[in-house]
Amino acid sequence: MISKYFKGKILVVIDAANLESSVKSLGWWIDYLKLRDLFKNESLVEIRDYCVRHNTDNQDKFFSFLKNNGFTLITKPLKIIKPEDISRGDIRKANFDVEIAVDAMEMIDSFDTLVLFSGDSDFDYLLKKLRSQNKSSVVISTKYHISKELIESSDKYIDLKRLKHLIERRRQKNSPSFATGS
């Protein structure tokens, strides 16, 4: 179904926080084995998953599950910023925009199509740079989590809802989610 939008070798990049937020708003969860299998018959270079590390047993098990099933994990701890005005509460950050962009540019010679699971407008510049290098991009996100800039700068935007029947996690425990780690 979506393979018609890919050319050549494929690099899949998952902005985990963005993806999990998108599917949570839709009321379902990702089955990461099914997601991986979307690219099974393609010329897959790598599936890279960028995710905050909480150092919990559940998350460690989930990370082991992903690694054992062909995902490359790029993690970092959650950064908690205490504002001067304590009534505002803590600010939690773990953006991977820079890591994703730098890794994609470092790997540019190894792929022809970047598949980006994110709707973050910060990736607009990356997609434009990739296009200038004759690379194509497919962006997968949801209607309310996708920036208009990404839709315009990608070669193809696919609404995640169109993939639900292919990648939805049923109430089984064979493929846990990032959000719950179970």
Tokens 């937020």 sit on residue: 21
What is the model's pLDDT at position 42? 74
pLDDT for 23: 87
pLDDT tens-digit map of 98-156: 999 999 999 999 999 999 999 999 999 999 999 999 999 999 999 888 999 999 999 99
Question: Residue 151 pairs with which residues in a beta bridge?
Answer: none
Task: For tokens 């950050």, name the residue.
Answer: 93
Give the number of other CB atoms < 10 A from CB of residue 59.
Answer: 19
Q: What percent of the chain has pLDDT over 90?
A: 66
Quote the pLDDT of residue 175. 47
Contacts of 53 (CB under 8 A, 6+ apart): 59, 63, 75, 76, 77, 78
**Ranges 5-14, 22-31, 48-57: which has the least confidence:** 22-31
